[in-house]
Amino acid sequence: MKRRYPPVGGTEDVLRREPGMATTHLRACDVPEVRQDLLQWADDNVVRGQRGSGAVQVNGFTDPFLLQSAVRGAEQFFDNDRMTWLARTTGEELPVCAFDVDDLPDPIGFLIWSDDPSAHTETLGRPRAVLWCRAGMTLRVLVLDDARPYRHTREVLGSRADPTWASQVRGSLAGDLAIGFGATIPLNIETEWNEVKHTWAVDLHGRPAKDRYGVGADRINDINEDQLRVIRTLLGTLLLIRQPADARRGLWQAEQVRPDAAARKRLRRAGAEHPDAQVRYITLRQSVRPAPDDVRGARDTAGRIYRHQWFVRPHRRTYPDQDDPTGYSRKWVGSYLVTPEGCADAPILGRERVVSVLRR
Protein backbone atom coordinates (compact mmCIF):
# COMPACT_ATOMS: atom_id res chain seq x y z
CA MET A 1 0.00 0.00 0.00
CA LYS A 2 1.88 3.02 -1.25
CA ARG A 3 -0.17 5.76 0.37
CA ARG A 4 -3.55 6.15 1.96
CA TYR A 5 -5.30 9.35 0.99
CA PRO A 6 -8.01 10.77 3.22
CA PRO A 7 -11.40 9.50 2.08
CA VAL A 8 -13.85 11.64 0.15
CA GLY A 9 -17.58 12.14 0.36
CA GLY A 10 -17.61 13.59 3.89
CA THR A 11 -15.52 10.84 5.46
CA GLU A 12 -12.58 13.14 6.10
CA ASP A 13 -14.57 15.22 8.59
CA VAL A 14 -15.21 12.10 10.65
CA LEU A 15 -11.47 11.41 10.78
CA ARG A 16 -10.46 14.81 12.11
CA ARG A 17 -8.46 14.72 15.33
CA GLU A 18 -10.41 14.80 18.53
CA PRO A 19 -9.03 16.91 21.39
CA GLY A 20 -7.47 15.00 24.23
CA MET A 21 -6.68 11.92 22.13
CA ALA A 22 -3.04 12.67 21.31
CA THR A 23 -1.40 10.22 23.67
CA THR A 24 -1.66 6.60 22.62
CA HIS A 25 -3.52 4.00 24.64
CA LEU A 26 -0.61 1.61 24.08
CA ARG A 27 2.05 0.97 26.72
CA ALA A 28 5.65 -0.18 26.51
CA CYS A 29 4.67 -3.69 27.62
CA ASP A 30 2.19 -3.85 24.72
CA VAL A 31 4.86 -3.50 22.02
CA PRO A 32 5.49 -7.28 21.56
CA GLU A 33 1.80 -8.03 20.97
CA VAL A 34 1.44 -5.07 18.61
CA ARG A 35 4.44 -6.29 16.66
CA GLN A 36 3.00 -9.82 16.52
CA ASP A 37 -0.24 -8.41 15.06
CA LEU A 38 1.80 -6.62 12.40
CA LEU A 39 3.66 -9.84 11.61
CA GLN A 40 0.37 -11.68 11.22
CA TRP A 41 -0.87 -8.93 8.89
CA ALA A 42 2.30 -9.18 6.79
CA ASP A 43 1.95 -12.97 6.57
CA ASP A 44 -1.71 -12.78 5.52
CA ASN A 45 -1.70 -9.75 3.22
CA VAL A 46 1.81 -9.41 1.81
CA VAL A 47 3.51 -12.82 1.75
CA ARG A 48 0.59 -15.22 1.25
CA GLY A 49 -1.19 -12.63 -0.86
CA GLN A 50 1.52 -12.99 -3.50
CA ARG A 51 -0.13 -16.24 -4.56
CA GLY A 52 -3.35 -14.47 -5.49
CA SER A 53 -4.60 -11.13 -6.75
CA GLY A 54 -5.16 -9.55 -3.35
CA ALA A 55 -1.54 -8.90 -2.37
CA VAL A 56 -0.86 -5.59 -0.63
CA GLN A 57 2.20 -3.68 -1.84
CA VAL A 58 4.05 -1.55 0.68
CA ASN A 59 6.21 1.24 -0.68
CA GLY A 60 9.81 0.67 0.43
CA PHE A 61 9.20 -3.05 0.98
CA THR A 62 8.63 -4.31 -2.56
CA ASP A 63 10.13 -7.64 -1.49
CA PRO A 64 7.41 -9.16 0.72
CA PHE A 65 9.89 -11.37 2.53
CA LEU A 66 11.95 -8.32 3.50
CA LEU A 67 8.95 -6.89 5.32
CA GLN A 68 8.20 -10.22 6.97
CA SER A 69 11.78 -10.74 8.17
CA ALA A 70 12.06 -7.11 9.32
CA VAL A 71 8.99 -7.37 11.54
CA ARG A 72 10.13 -10.73 12.91
CA GLY A 73 13.68 -9.62 13.69
CA ALA A 74 13.12 -6.05 14.88
CA GLU A 75 14.41 -4.76 18.19
CA GLN A 76 11.57 -3.20 20.19
CA PHE A 77 11.40 0.39 21.45
CA PHE A 78 8.87 2.66 23.15
CA ASP A 79 9.34 6.45 23.32
CA ASN A 80 7.48 8.21 26.12
CA ASP A 81 5.61 11.45 25.40
CA ARG A 82 8.42 13.82 26.41
CA MET A 83 10.98 12.00 24.26
CA THR A 84 8.52 12.07 21.38
CA TRP A 85 8.01 15.80 21.86
CA LEU A 86 11.76 16.44 21.89
CA ALA A 87 12.28 14.26 18.81
CA ARG A 88 9.55 16.18 17.00
CA THR A 89 11.09 19.52 18.01
CA THR A 90 14.54 18.30 16.99
CA GLY A 91 13.34 17.05 13.61
CA GLU A 92 11.79 20.41 12.78
CA GLU A 93 15.22 22.06 13.12
CA LEU A 94 17.33 19.61 11.12
CA PRO A 95 18.41 21.31 7.87
CA VAL A 96 18.97 18.11 5.88
CA CYS A 97 17.74 14.52 5.98
CA ALA A 98 20.88 13.34 7.73
CA PHE A 99 20.14 9.65 8.23
CA ASP A 100 23.42 7.80 8.67
CA VAL A 101 24.34 4.18 9.35
CA ASP A 102 25.84 5.17 12.70
CA ASP A 103 22.58 6.83 13.76
CA LEU A 104 20.65 3.57 13.86
CA PRO A 105 20.26 2.14 17.38
CA ASP A 106 19.75 -1.18 15.62
CA PRO A 107 19.71 -2.14 11.91
CA ILE A 108 16.10 -3.30 12.29
CA GLY A 109 13.72 -1.74 14.78
CA PHE A 110 10.06 -1.37 15.68
CA LEU A 111 9.14 1.67 17.77
CA ILE A 112 5.92 3.05 19.22
CA TRP A 113 5.65 6.76 19.98
CA SER A 114 3.64 7.54 23.11
CA ASP A 115 2.64 10.94 21.74
CA ASP A 116 1.88 12.14 18.22
CA PRO A 117 4.99 12.51 16.04
CA SER A 118 3.10 14.94 13.79
CA ALA A 119 0.86 16.84 16.18
CA HIS A 120 0.13 19.77 13.89
CA THR A 121 -1.11 17.82 10.87
CA GLU A 122 -4.64 17.06 9.77
CA THR A 123 -4.29 14.89 6.69
CA LEU A 124 -3.08 11.59 8.13
CA GLY A 125 -4.49 9.21 10.64
CA ARG A 126 -2.67 9.43 13.94
CA PRO A 127 0.87 8.05 13.33
CA ARG A 128 1.84 5.87 16.26
CA ALA A 129 4.57 3.42 15.25
CA VAL A 130 7.39 2.93 12.80
CA LEU A 131 9.30 -0.05 11.44
CA TRP A 132 12.74 0.55 9.96
CA CYS A 133 15.12 -1.81 8.24
CA ARG A 134 18.53 -1.13 6.74
CA ALA A 135 18.96 -2.50 3.21
CA GLY A 136 22.38 -1.66 1.80
CA MET A 137 22.80 2.11 1.91
CA THR A 138 19.09 2.79 2.24
CA LEU A 139 16.66 2.74 5.13
CA ARG A 140 13.27 1.16 4.46
CA VAL A 141 10.60 2.74 6.64
CA LEU A 142 6.98 1.81 7.32
CA VAL A 143 4.89 4.26 9.36
CA LEU A 144 1.75 2.93 11.04
CA ASP A 145 -1.31 4.79 12.31
CA ASP A 146 -3.59 4.27 15.28
CA ALA A 147 -6.34 2.01 13.93
CA ARG A 148 -9.08 3.30 16.22
CA PRO A 149 -10.13 6.36 14.14
CA TYR A 150 -10.51 4.20 11.04
CA ARG A 151 -12.59 1.57 12.79
CA HIS A 152 -14.73 4.32 14.31
CA THR A 153 -15.20 5.98 10.92
CA ARG A 154 -16.26 2.71 9.29
CA GLU A 155 -18.85 2.20 12.03
CA VAL A 156 -20.18 5.75 11.73
CA LEU A 157 -20.42 5.75 7.93
CA GLY A 158 -21.62 2.20 7.47
CA SER A 159 -22.97 1.78 3.94
CA ARG A 160 -22.29 5.47 3.16
CA ALA A 161 -18.51 4.90 3.11
CA ASP A 162 -16.74 5.06 -0.23
CA PRO A 163 -16.42 1.37 -1.27
CA THR A 164 -12.82 1.74 -2.45
CA TRP A 165 -11.80 3.46 0.77
CA ALA A 166 -13.66 0.96 2.96
CA SER A 167 -11.99 -1.96 1.21
CA GLN A 168 -8.57 -0.36 1.53
CA VAL A 169 -9.05 0.36 5.22
CA ARG A 170 -10.25 -3.17 5.87
CA GLY A 171 -7.08 -4.57 4.30
CA SER A 172 -4.81 -2.15 6.16
CA LEU A 173 -5.84 -2.93 9.74
CA ALA A 174 -3.22 -4.80 11.75
CA GLY A 175 -4.56 -5.11 15.28
CA ASP A 176 -4.16 -1.79 17.10
CA LEU A 177 -2.41 -0.25 14.09
CA ALA A 178 -3.24 0.55 10.49
CA ILE A 179 -0.74 0.59 7.65
CA GLY A 180 0.18 4.21 6.94
CA PHE A 181 2.87 4.81 4.34
CA GLY A 182 6.26 3.45 3.36
CA ALA A 183 9.42 5.19 2.20
CA THR A 184 12.96 4.45 1.07
CA ILE A 185 15.45 6.89 2.61
CA PRO A 186 19.09 7.21 1.50
CA LEU A 187 21.63 6.70 4.28
CA ASN A 188 23.37 9.89 3.29
CA ILE A 189 23.84 12.80 5.69
CA GLU A 190 23.58 15.32 2.83
CA THR A 191 20.18 14.31 1.41
CA GLU A 192 17.76 17.20 0.93
CA TRP A 193 14.34 16.84 2.53
CA ASN A 194 12.57 17.35 -0.79
CA GLU A 195 14.49 14.38 -2.20
CA VAL A 196 12.99 12.19 0.51
CA LYS A 197 9.47 13.42 -0.20
CA HIS A 198 10.10 12.68 -3.87
CA THR A 199 10.43 8.95 -3.10
CA TRP A 200 6.69 8.62 -2.42
CA ALA A 201 5.39 11.61 -4.42
CA VAL A 202 6.18 9.86 -7.72
CA ASP A 203 5.50 6.39 -9.12
CA LEU A 204 8.02 3.80 -10.33
CA HIS A 205 8.38 5.69 -13.62
CA GLY A 206 9.10 9.07 -12.02
CA ARG A 207 5.64 10.46 -12.77
CA PRO A 208 3.52 12.20 -10.10
CA ALA A 209 1.70 9.59 -8.04
CA LYS A 210 -1.87 8.97 -9.15
CA ASP A 211 -4.59 10.94 -7.37
CA ARG A 212 -6.70 7.88 -6.55
CA TYR A 213 -9.48 9.77 -4.76
CA GLY A 214 -9.53 12.97 -6.80
CA VAL A 215 -8.55 15.20 -3.87
CA GLY A 216 -6.47 17.55 -6.02
CA ALA A 217 -2.80 18.48 -6.30
CA ASP A 218 -2.82 20.86 -3.32
CA ARG A 219 -4.28 18.23 -1.02
CA ILE A 220 -1.77 15.65 -2.19
CA ASN A 221 1.05 18.09 -1.48
CA ASP A 222 -0.32 18.61 2.06
CA ILE A 223 -0.31 14.85 2.57
CA ASN A 224 3.28 14.59 1.32
CA GLU A 225 4.36 17.38 3.69
CA ASP A 226 2.64 15.67 6.62
CA GLN A 227 4.41 12.41 5.86
CA LEU A 228 7.70 14.27 5.69
CA ARG A 229 7.10 15.65 9.20
CA VAL A 230 6.83 12.10 10.51
CA ILE A 231 10.14 11.19 8.84
CA ARG A 232 11.70 14.27 10.47
CA THR A 233 10.48 13.05 13.86
CA LEU A 234 11.90 9.60 13.13
CA LEU A 235 15.32 11.10 12.44
CA GLY A 236 15.14 13.13 15.66
CA THR A 237 14.11 9.98 17.54
CA LEU A 238 17.02 7.91 16.23
CA LEU A 239 19.55 10.69 16.87
CA LEU A 240 18.41 11.02 20.48
CA ILE A 241 18.45 7.27 21.12
CA ARG A 242 21.92 6.99 19.60
CA GLN A 243 23.44 9.53 21.94
CA PRO A 244 26.17 8.01 24.12
CA ALA A 245 24.61 5.88 26.83
CA ASP A 246 27.09 7.39 29.29
CA ALA A 247 24.95 9.24 31.83
CA ARG A 248 27.43 12.11 31.66
CA ARG A 249 26.41 12.88 28.07
CA GLY A 250 23.13 11.41 26.88
CA LEU A 251 19.77 13.16 27.28
CA TRP A 252 17.92 9.87 27.36
CA GLN A 253 17.64 7.01 29.78
CA ALA A 254 16.20 3.57 29.19
CA GLU A 255 14.81 0.65 31.12
CA GLN A 256 13.95 -2.85 29.96
CA VAL A 257 10.25 -3.74 30.01
CA ARG A 258 8.84 -7.24 29.54
CA PRO A 259 5.28 -8.28 28.69
CA ASP A 260 3.41 -9.66 31.68
CA ALA A 261 2.61 -13.36 32.12
CA ALA A 262 -0.79 -13.11 30.43
CA ALA A 263 0.70 -11.29 27.45
CA ARG A 264 3.47 -13.88 27.12
CA LYS A 265 0.85 -16.62 27.11
CA ARG A 266 -1.07 -14.86 24.31
CA LEU A 267 2.16 -14.39 22.36
CA ARG A 268 2.98 -18.10 22.61
CA ARG A 269 -0.49 -18.99 21.34
CA ALA A 270 0.04 -16.59 18.43
CA GLY A 271 3.29 -18.36 17.53
CA ALA A 272 5.73 -15.64 18.62
CA GLU A 273 9.34 -16.84 18.46
CA HIS A 274 10.41 -14.81 21.52
CA PRO A 275 7.35 -14.12 23.69
CA ASP A 276 9.51 -12.76 26.50
CA ALA A 277 11.52 -10.34 24.33
CA GLN A 278 12.23 -7.11 26.16
CA VAL A 279 11.28 -3.59 25.09
CA ARG A 280 13.59 -0.61 25.51
CA TYR A 281 11.48 2.04 27.23
CA ILE A 282 13.08 5.39 26.35
CA THR A 283 12.51 8.44 28.55
CA LEU A 284 13.91 11.96 28.60
CA ARG A 285 16.24 12.94 31.41
CA GLN A 286 14.41 15.96 32.71
CA SER A 287 14.19 18.28 35.71
CA VAL A 288 10.70 19.62 36.40
CA ARG A 289 10.93 22.68 38.60
CA PRO A 290 7.78 23.12 40.69
CA ALA A 291 6.44 26.65 41.01
CA PRO A 292 3.15 28.38 41.84
CA ASP A 293 0.74 28.70 38.93
CA ASP A 294 0.98 31.99 37.11
CA VAL A 295 -0.98 33.01 34.04
CA ARG A 296 2.10 34.76 32.64
CA GLY A 297 4.28 31.68 32.75
CA ALA A 298 6.06 29.72 35.47
CA ARG A 299 7.55 31.44 38.51
CA ASP A 300 10.34 30.19 40.77
CA THR A 301 10.95 31.05 44.42
CA ALA A 302 12.89 34.17 43.41
CA GLY A 303 9.86 35.51 41.61
CA ARG A 304 11.23 35.02 38.10
CA ILE A 305 8.77 34.13 35.37
CA TYR A 306 9.71 31.56 32.73
CA ARG A 307 8.25 31.08 29.28
CA HIS A 308 10.78 28.58 27.97
CA GLN A 309 12.74 25.40 28.71
CA TRP A 310 16.48 24.92 28.48
CA PHE A 311 19.17 22.26 28.40
CA VAL A 312 21.76 21.90 31.15
CA ARG A 313 25.16 20.65 30.09
CA PRO A 314 26.98 17.86 31.98
CA HIS A 315 28.49 19.16 35.20
CA ARG A 316 29.56 18.20 38.72
CA ARG A 317 27.22 18.75 41.63
CA THR A 318 27.67 18.46 45.39
CA TYR A 319 25.32 16.03 47.15
CA PRO A 320 24.93 15.09 50.83
CA ASP A 321 26.81 11.83 51.41
CA GLN A 322 26.82 10.05 54.77
CA ASP A 323 29.65 7.77 53.64
CA ASP A 324 32.00 10.67 52.95
CA PRO A 325 34.02 12.13 55.89
CA THR A 326 33.04 15.65 54.83
CA GLY A 327 29.36 14.75 54.65
CA TYR A 328 29.27 15.66 50.96
CA SER A 329 30.51 14.27 47.67
CA ARG A 330 30.72 15.62 44.12
CA LYS A 331 29.10 13.61 41.35
CA TRP A 332 28.71 13.95 37.61
CA VAL A 333 25.25 14.94 36.40
CA GLY A 334 24.42 14.27 32.77
CA SER A 335 22.61 16.55 30.34
CA TYR A 336 18.94 17.12 31.05
CA LEU A 337 16.08 19.37 30.07
CA VAL A 338 14.83 21.90 32.62
CA THR A 339 11.06 22.39 32.46
CA PRO A 340 9.59 25.01 34.83
CA GLU A 341 6.02 24.38 35.87
CA GLY A 342 3.59 25.60 33.25
CA CYS A 343 6.20 25.36 30.48
CA ALA A 344 5.70 21.78 29.32
CA ASP A 345 4.95 22.96 25.77
CA ALA A 346 7.12 26.08 25.83
CA PRO A 347 9.94 26.52 23.29
CA ILE A 348 13.46 25.49 24.22
CA LEU A 349 15.73 28.47 24.87
CA GLY A 350 18.08 28.85 21.92
CA ARG A 351 16.40 26.55 19.39
CA GLU A 352 19.75 25.84 17.75
CA ARG A 353 20.71 23.96 20.92
CA VAL A 354 18.02 21.39 20.17
CA VAL A 355 20.25 20.18 17.36
CA SER A 356 23.71 20.97 18.73
CA VAL A 357 22.99 19.13 21.97
CA LEU A 358 23.01 15.90 19.95
CA ARG A 359 26.81 16.34 19.57
CA ARG A 360 26.98 14.78 16.14
Q: What pLDDT score was predicted for residue 90?
A: 82
| Closest residue by Cα to residue 91 from 238, 199, 244 | 238
Domain edge (last residue) among 256, 284, 312: 284
For all residues of the chain together, what is the average pLDDT?
76
The pTM (predicted TM-score) of the whole model is 0.76
Classify the phi-psi angles of 214: left when phi > 0, otherwise alpha if psi is within -120 to 50, otherwise beta.
left
Is 1 within the bounds of a domain? no
Q: Are residues 87 and 130 in the same domain?
A: yes
pLDDT in tens, 344-360: 777 776 555 555 555 44
Residue 274's nearest CA partner among 81, 1, 18, 35 is 35
| Residue 2 covered by a domain | no
Range of the domain at 207: 11-284
Please indicate, yes or no, whether residues 268 and 296 belong to a single structural domain of this protein: no
Same domain, 224 and 213: yes
Q: What is the DSSP letter of 150?
A: H
Is residue 352 assigned to a domain?
A: yes
Q: Do 91 and 75 fall within a single domain? A: yes
- Count structural domains, the chain: 2
Residues 224-278: pLDDT tens digits? 888 889 999 999 899 888 876 554 556 777 889 998 899 999 999 988 888 889 9
Which tens digit of pLDDT belongs to each residue from 95-108? 888 888 888 989 99
